[in-house]
Structure 1
Amino acid sequence: MPYSNAAEILETPVTTHEVRVPNRFNGPPGSGNGGWSAALLGKHLGPEVEVTLKRPIPLDRDIRVIANGSSAVLVDGDSEIASARSAELELDIPEAISFAEAARARATFAGYQDHPFPKCFVCGTGRCCGEGMCLFTGPLDKGIVASSWVPDAEFVTEEGEIAPELICAALDCPGAWGLIDRYGIEGPIVLGRMTYRFDKPIYAGERYVVMGWAQGREGRKLSCGTAVYDAEGAVCAAAGATWIELR
């Protein structure tokens, strides 16, 4: 189905513009990181959004956002590759741990030994810190992982806050590592859907804790939660996600 007419996808009025995911912000090889890509589309709809990824997000070429006030689609040529809509996040969020506890968990990250996507921008052990996020979430309990995080000033917006793309990236991979820890998954899994919520601004250079936890499994579909906490233990951002185990 061609997407030359935005009204074919969304109710009017609509806006359209081009976006691009640079090669640096990959998840699996050759495709955009799921969390980064989710925010690239969802940030047009407010602080609480559900994003469904339908196909791998291409890197380093122009793709098109078509949006109205409550929904949006991401289009590559004639193909819809992601959709987003305003939605409420329903998620039980665990209590925060301390930054020191999260730093200790980081040291036991399972990806140091075996990583399905070692070049992932968020959690890849094959990326230098500064070039990737190096967000290494290690186990706290069965199916619960955590890492310390100090966001880099490179990703600050004009308002002085960390950009939504980086926040959603931080909410992405930790959930996968919680699932891997809980279910002993050996093959790769990829993000299918994320519902995220931003509660408080996140600032560069400050100390945060990121946690991910497994919630359930139904065949190849797996569900999890993630959250970013500030130094006082308040939730700054959270997400519930569905991951798909590849055949």
Structure 2
Amino acid sequence: MGTESVASSTDAGSVTIARRFRGPLTSANGGYAAGVVGSRVGSAAEVTLRLPPPLERPLALHREGERLLLEDEGRLVAEGRPADPGLEAPTPPSPGEAAAAEEGVGTYGPPEFAECFVCGVRDDGSGLGIHPGPVAGREDGLVAATWVAHRVTPEVVWAAIDCPGAYAAGDPGRGEVVLGRMTARLERLPEEGEHCVVVGWPLGEDGRKLFAGTALYGRGGEVLAVARQVWILPR
């Protein structure tokens, strides 16, 4: 596990998520937190978030059969289990098409998410700066952005393929969506400095639940990761 993935790890049974990996201002980015659990489950895992993941304090990890539980003073924050998203990544846009799609796109959602590790804007460069926009000429609702990989860990990849799903499926006019569940499969980590393309696409909705797929591509359009997501609209 890379030193950038967490601020500290006291032992195999606990983990502390550094403030750098915030989504909202006071809790962790959902994809990153899901990756903390999912990367410990295996290369393909389903993670369900139960509470906003706290920052800067030890969270306990417990195994119950095939499940891995992340807890904050006895409260269940997230749970993971082995599972495959069962999705095929779509034909990727070219890096040029992805760059054109992200032109002029900013942070997703209200000011509370302005510093999100994935889709926020940070002057110190500590975030990923992924802001997907609609890809011209695509009829599948695909949104895309470019990303140059640096200091990558499995948790960072989970994060990178998190917020593009909100851009694809969310509707800020109905309220800010939050990640409820993410099922991801990682094929390989991008290499340091590898130029990548990240995409998201809508998969329908059911009441307050919005569904999306996301994927990460490396050089030559190689699929590096793919995810299926459930986003929740506020009541």
Query: Shorter-chain TM-score: which interval?
Result: 0.7 to 0.9
* Residues 213 and 193 of structure 1, relative CA distance in 2, 3 Å threshold: same
Q: What is the distance in 1 between the residues matched to 2:186 and 2:114?
A: 28
Give the counterpart of 1:103 among 79, 91, 99.
Answer: 99
Q: What is the distance in 2 between the residues matched to 1:85 and 1:195?
A: 9
* Residues 75 and 114 of structure 1, relative CA distance in 2, 3 Å threshold: closer
Give the counterpart of 1:195 among 164, 177, 183.
Answer: 183
Runs of 4+ in 1 over 3 A off after TM superposition: 110-116, 183-186
| Structure-to-structure mapping, 1:47-196, within 5 angstroms | 47-67=43-63, 70-109=66-105, 111=107, 117-125=113-121, 127-128=122-123, 130-140=125-135, 141=138, 143-152=141-150, 155=151, 162-180=152-170, 183=171, 185-196=173-184
Aligned-partner residue type, residue 176 of structure 1? A
Aligned to 2:211: 223
* Residues 87 and 206 of structure 1, relative CA distance in 2, 3 Å threshold: same
Identity between Structure 1 and Structure 2 (%): 40
How far 1:115 sits from its partner (Å)?
6.1
Moved more, 113-122 or 224-233: 113-122
User: Unaligned stretches of 5+ in structure 1?
Assistant: 1-14, 156-161
How far 1:108 sits from its partner (Å)?
3.5
How far 1:139 sits from its partner (Å)?
1.2
Q: What is the distance in 1 between the residues matched to 2:173 and 2:69?
A: 31
- Total equivalences in the alignment: 222
Contact 1:108–1:139 under 8 Å retained in 2: no
Q: What is the distance in 2 between the residues matched to 1:178 and 1:52?
A: 20
How far 1:66 sits from its partner (Å)?
1.1
Q: What is the distance in 1 between the residues matched to 2:169 and 2:187?
A: 24
Aligned to 1:243: 231
Contact 1:110–1:138 under 8 Å retained in 2: no
Aligned-partner residue type, residue 139 of structure 1? P
* Residues 64 and 184 of structure 1, relative CA distance in 2, 3 Å threshold: closer
Aligned to 2:42: 46
TM-score (norm 1): 0.83
Look at both structures and tell me which one has the larger radius of gyration over its CA atoms: 1
User: Unaligned stretches of 5+ in structure 2?
Assistant: 1-10
Q: What is the distance in 2 between the residues matched to 1:68 and 1:113?
A: 36
Aligned Cα root-mean-square deviation (Å): 2.1
Q: What is the distance in 2 between the residues matched to 1:55 and 1:146?
A: 28
Aligned-partner residue type, residue 203 of structure 1? E
* Residues 102 and 151 of structure 1, relative CA distance in 2, 3 Å threshold: same
Q: What is the distance in 2 between the residues matched to 1:113 and 1:165?
A: 22
